[in-house]
């Protein structure tokens, strides 16, 4: 594996399993690699057996100012890429395309007051990067992070999210964050149990957060399960929220995960 104009060869520096099928990993970062929080990288894993490389898009979970890159992944049963990826260990190589991609970035929005980030599963990753961007905390009065997972054990990064108020750098802003856990397949104290789409329609999500969705104030990002993204988008568009387009800032930005 050698670096080219198109990609750099990086090293896995840390692997963190969350459950049997969920894990995070860090890689070294090329000094020239630039991205906007919310964007994704394209990663390549080369098979030791036949030398073939498989490429996939992965949202970046780490901050734009971090020296490393961090990613959050699920093992897709029978998936060519994630089954290779899940076998990687510290010291192994991974290819990272030099270009970063995607439009799930806050610079797509007209000015707003409340930033809503709705994630299912590993769709949390881009919001972790966005939450480590000081501009996000400075620009918005309220940040709402909704993390929907099937089981409590899948509430990855819960401690990090709960810990912003203890962080040397973020504590002064941390009162702005409202963190809503949704665990759909088992009862968990303090977590909502219904799908985010139903909670949106019923108004329970807004009640739980204590903030109403509002065209002037709310900017909404959706990331994760493609059906959740599509259904939530429809619900919100019917309520008059507009998708951000190139050169036409709106209220909504979305990213499908597979
Ligand atoms: P998931 O099925 O996406 O569920 C995560 C959360 O989203 C759950 O709380 C789930 O609720 C909720 N949800 C699912 N569909 C929804 C919808 N239409 N509207 C509202 N909420 C919805 O689970 P996951 O563990 O993140 O991913 C599941 C599987 O998807 C993986 O095992 C993998 O096979 C595949 N996947 C593939 C890729 C890829 O890159 N190919 C990436 C990620 C995941 P419920 O419990 O009610 O379903």
CA distance 12 to 88: 8
Confidence of residue 180 (pLDDT cuts 50, 70, 90): very high
Q: How far is the CA of 127 from the centre of ligand 1 (A)?
A: 17
- Mean pLDDT value across residues 185-214: 98
pLDDT at residue 3 tops 80: no
pLDDT value at residue 2: 67
Q: How far is the CA of 193 from the centre of ligand 1 (A)?
A: 15
Stated as kind and residue range, the H or E segment containing 148 is strand 142-149
pLDDT at residue 258 tops 90: no
User: Pocket around ligand 1: residues whose beta carbon is below 6 Å from it?
Assistant: 74, 76, 79, 120-122, 148-150, 182, 184-185, 195-197, 224-225, 227-228, 231, 257-258
pTM (predicted TM-score): 0.96
Sign for the CA dihedral angle at 69, 72, 74, 75 comes to positive
CA distance 7 to 159: 33
pLDDT tens digits along 59-76: 999 999 999 999 999 999
pLDDT tens digits along 120-168: 999 999 999 999 999 999 999 999 999 999 999 999 999 999 999 999 9
């Amino acid at each position: 594996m050698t670096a080219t104009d198109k990609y750099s060869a990086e090293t896995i520096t840390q692997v963190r399993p969350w459950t049997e099928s969920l894990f995070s990993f860090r890689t070294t970062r090329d000094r020239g690699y630039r991205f906007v929080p919310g964007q994704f990288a394209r990663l390549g894993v080369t098979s030791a057996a036949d030398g073939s490389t498989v490429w996939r898009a992965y949202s970046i979970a780490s901050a734009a100012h971090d020296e490393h890159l961090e990613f959050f992944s699920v093992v897709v049963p029978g998936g060519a890429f994630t089954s290779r990826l899940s076998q990687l260990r510290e010291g192994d190589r991974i290819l990272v395309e030099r270009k970063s991609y995607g439009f799930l970035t806050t610079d797509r929005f007209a000015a707003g007051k409340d930033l809503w980030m709705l994630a299912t599963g590993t769709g949390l990753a881009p919001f972790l990067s966005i939450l480590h961007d000081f501009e996000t905390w400075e620009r918005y009065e309220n940040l709402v992070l909704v993390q929907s997972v099937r089981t409590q054990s899948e509430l990855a990064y819960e401690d990090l999210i709960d810990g912003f108020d203890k962080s040397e750098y973020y504590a002064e802003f941390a009162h702005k964050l409202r963190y809503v856990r949704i665990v759909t397949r088992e009862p968990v104290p303090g977590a909502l149990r219904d799908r985010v789409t139903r909670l949106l329609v019923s108004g329970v999500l807004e009640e739980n957060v204590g903030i109403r969705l509002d065209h002037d104030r709310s900017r909404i990002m959706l990331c994760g399960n493609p059906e959740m993204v599509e259904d939530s988008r429809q619900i919100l568009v019917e309520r008059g929220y507009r998708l951000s387009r190139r050169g036409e800032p709106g209220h909504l930005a979305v990213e499908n995960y597979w």
